[in-house]
Amino acid sequence: MTNRPLYLDYHATTPVDPRVLDEMLPFFNERFGNPHSRQHAWGWEARDAVEKARAQVAALIGASPAEIVFTSGATESNNLALRGAIGARGGGHVITVATEHKSVLDVCHGFEAEGCAVTVLPVDAGGMVDPAALTAALRPDTALVSVMAANNEIGTLQPMAEIGAIVRAHGALLHTDAAQAAGKIPLDVRRMNIDLLSLTGHKFYGPKGCGALFIRKMKPRLALQPQVSGGGQENGVRSGTLNVPGIVGLGRAAELCRLEMTEEAARLGGLRDRLLDGLSVRLPGLRVNGTLQHRLPHNLHVSFDGIEGEALLMALGDLAVSTGSACSSGSQAISHVLQAIDATSERSGASVRFGLGRSTTQADIDFVIERVTSVVTALLAASLLPH
């Protein structure tokens, strides 16, 4: 058996919680019915399991079960929300943010190629959107605003309630990519005036390949233009036979997060602060990327002056960390998020994202502090040697 590095990349993905797996397993071989088989008990049993999960996901974000559509994950949900809304409205002006996930930004670039006007709002040094800038950007033809609830790299939390109030007063639709926020911080689609919300199970201890899109019930009905056509499942919004085991796992993971979120956030926030304090004392050149005041409790993204990023990650081989989004990890380009917060000096190449999770302990954090301190100190010393 090989030794594996200490896992601190919980933004990229999370392990399936054993309680979630226990709920899923029977639906692979014992209760394997198709939920769209309406003529017999096998189908009814699967349908009931799906509807139970729909209610569990809805409860996590303050929605009603009828407003939840199951998808393959947040990327599909983002595409369905944005393309579906603009398609249904026949175009219009779109507003988004420079630090959004690529699955939002790339869709918006596609809108521009098709002739739609798109405004990309800047952020401040902490990664925050200025609500006044959003208000100023709104136009009579603004159809959709998309703002990520929690950033996947630097953990910045946007003021969604304030943004929602502005967008609602204007009469546009508000979408939020909540892939990193769902299950980690409280979300209430009613209080925040969110019309469309994307989430995915594998970010909060559910299975990969299963997510959901919240679509607010409103009058007149928000009839998203489907991006997948076929059997008319999910009220015609997203065709295809439902992934019952995945949906069951998504629902159970959402329920556990709803019940345990407050306690878990406090524990992880304390560990994150311990990590930051320990590193700051030993490495005075450390810089934190993003605001500490409005941040996911399990996120810490830091940069180090004077060392090269790839060398740092290679030297930290016994720690499973990343420089940013796992979805873009194959690219050597500087993070667009760091560019947006003006953190792209020489330190941008030596940036590390620590993502803490359910299995992270105080002993793990103390090990990380010592290990990172040792590695960074050695790399700094090597950089000062004559070449």
Strands 93-97 and 142-146: parallel
How wide is the angle at C-alpha 249 spanned by C-alphas 247 and 251, nearest 5°?
70
325: pLDDT strictly greater than 60: no
34: pLDDT strictly greater than 80: yes
What domains, with CATH codes, occur in the chain? Answer: 6-12+261-383 (3.90.1150.10), 18-256 (3.40.640.10)
Burial class, 369, CB count within 10 angstroms (exposed 0-12 / middle 13-18 / buried 19+): buried
What are the tens digits of pLDDT across the range 60-87? Answer: 999 999 999 999 999 999 999 999 999 9
Average pLDDT, stretch 356-363? 98
Per-residue model confidence (pLDDT) at position 54: 98
331: pLDDT strictly greater than 60: no
Walk across the sheet containing 118-121 and list its strands: 68-71, 211-215, 196-200, 173-177, 142-146, 93-97, 118-121
**Amino acid (one-letter) located at 233:** Q
How wide is the angle at C-alpha 265 spanned by C-alphas 259 and 270, nearest 5°?
145
342: pLDDT strictly greater than 90: no
Per-residue model confidence (pLDDT) at position 245: 97
The residue behind tokens 């950033």 is 151
> pLDDT tier at 383 (50, 70, 90 boundaries)?
confident
> pLDDT tier at 326 (50, 70, 90 boundaries)?
very low
Q: 276-285 in b/e burial notation, b at 16+ Cβ within 10 A? A: bebbeeebee
Please tell me whether residue 94 adopts helix, strand or coil conformation.
strand
Average pLDDT, stretch 130-136? 98
- Asked whether 253 and 21 are in contact (CB, 8 A), the reply is no
What are the tens digits of pLDDT across the range 277-309? Answer: 999 999 988 999 999 999 999 999 999 888 887
User: What does pLDDT average to over the chain?
Assistant: 92
Consecutive H or E run containing 107: helix 102-113
DSSP 15-65: PPPHHHHHHHTHHHHTS---TT--SSHHHHHHHHHHHHHHHHHHHHHT--G
Backbone angles phi and psi of 180, in degrees to 5: -90, -20
327 assigned to active site: yes
1: pLDDT strictly greater than 50: no
Per-residue model confidence (pLDDT) at position 329: 46
- Asked whether 180 and 11 are in contact (CB, 8 A), the reply is yes
> pLDDT tier at 347 (50, 70, 90 boundaries)?
very low
What are the tens digits of pLDDT across the range 212-232? Answer: 999 999 988 888 988 888 878
Consecutive H or E run containing 175: strand 173-177
Strands 196-200 and 6-7: unpaired
Tokens of 59: 């409860």
Cα 133 to Cα 95, 101, 144, 297, 321: the distances in Å are 11, 20, 16, 27, 34
Cα 347 to Cα 284, 292, 307, 341: the distances in Å are 14, 19, 7, 13
Bigger pLDDT: 20 or 231?
Answer: 20
